[in-house]
Amino acid sequence: MYLAVFFRNFLAGGLCHVGLGVNAIQTGIVLRRLGVHVDVFGVPEPDDVLKKLKELPETPTHVVIEAVWLDIPALKRLVAAFPGTLFAVRAHSQVGFLQVEPPAVRIIREMIELARTTPNLTVSANSPRLAHFLRVAYSTPCTYLPNLYDLEHKRHQHPHDPGVLRIASFGALRLLKNHMTAAAAALLIAQHEGKKVEFWVSVNREENAGAKGILTAMRNLYSGLDYAKLVESPWEPWKAFRKTISKMDLYLQVSFTETFNLTVADAISEGVPAVVSDAIDWAPSDWVAKADSVEDVSRVGLRLLHDHQAPQQGLLALEQYMHHGIQTWVSYLENSTPI
């Protein structure tokens, strides 16, 4: 078998460092280690997928398109040009997040109808909850293909300042990411510990209308405090980001909706415990806090700060997730036979 994975690359001349690109590359790394022939491609426009496939010396048996960004005409051209290749378009958004992506909802609905009459096309999701919803609501097959994450990384070692807490809530500035609750919880944690705090957030990628408002709200929350500082950390290539997140004492990711959340996996792989919402259902259950409760987020965060077993607990949870994820991908590739 030969798998080609495509993601949308927004950076001209290089691999996109945002989540979908990182996830596609991670998928390739993990599956190659298992002996699967995998290539990963970042392309800027829908028709570039077809162009790249025509350039390849060998035709893939399987193609996975990361996220819903190909329009239906482009998808029709793909499946028609390569009738012996199995195409899977993998949705990365939970139902709650789709409310801010109306075009993606329309494409998913149209793709479901196209798949009913197209034997080499399948709708896929990286969340079992989204896959279940689509199967039941629209009486359609939906393949569950979870995120894969390469755990064979050398952990970075950084000295931590005992007098300053470094707490972060990285990722896109989107309303449903709930960064403001995380920012407020960091203040409560610092006051309880009697320490200064640096609260780190990702900036310089304002991809939605609400991004500026979220950042302004956090700036106002921290303005004039002598014990707290908002650190605006520009988006970085993934390897550099791993070094940045390794400097944190605690990570907060209390999103209202998620499917996997790559940055929590990054934190865990660097030995940093994370307070999460119940939307991140693969994390340890006692890392979960009420997403709309600053007090509960701070309570769980304080416990994790002083739990020396927490980093190992998080790694075990990620390893268990990965074990099932690898089995799922291998089963899909072995049991879906090209036409």
Span 125-174, pLDDT tens digits: 999 999 999 999 999 999 999 999 999 877 777 777 788 999 999 999 99
Span 66-117, pLDDT tens digits: 999 999 999 999 999 999 999 999 999 999 999 989 999 999 999 999 999 9
Residue 242 identity? R
Rounded Cα distance, 321 and 19, in Å? 18
| Ordered domains of the chain (ranges, CATH) | 2-148 (3.40.50.2300), 164-319 (3.40.50.2000)
Take residue 141 and report the two structure tokens written for it: 């097959």
Provide the pLDDT for residue 17.
56
- pLDDT category of residue 285 using cuts at 50, 70 and 90: very high
Side-chain-side CA neighbours of 196 within 13 Å: the count stands at 13
Q: Mean pLDDT over residues 256-281, rounded?
A: 97
Rounded Cα distance, 231 and 224, in Å? 14
Residue 46: pLDDT over 70 = yes
Residue 208: pLDDT over 70 = no
Distances (CA, A) of 249 to 78, 136, 255, 264: 47, 42, 19, 13
Rounded Cα distance, 27 and 146, in Å? 10
- pTM (global) more than 0.85: yes
Neighbours of 193 (CB within 10 A): 15
Take residue 143 and report the two structure tokens written for it: 């393949």
Provide the pLDDT for residue 12.
55
Take residue 334 and report the two structure tokens written for it: 């072995």
Beta-bridge mates of residue 121: 87
Residue (of 14, 5, 4) closest to 238 by Cα position: 14
62 touches 88 (CB < 8 A):
yes
Distances (CA, A) of 155 to 27, 266, 271, 272: 20, 10, 8, 11
Rounded Cα distance, 26 and 146, in Å? 12
201 touches 307 (CB < 8 A):
no
Residue 266 phi/psi, 5-degree rounding, is -60, -45
256 touches 277 (CB < 8 A):
yes
Task: Report the length, in residues, of the chain.
Answer: 339
Rounded Cα distance, 265 and 158, in Å? 18
Residue (of 267, 196, 262) closest to 225 by Cα position: 196
Residue 262 identity? L
Residue 184 identity? A
Take residue 227 and report the two structure tokens written for it: 């014990």
Take residue 121 and report the two structure tokens written for it: 């096309």
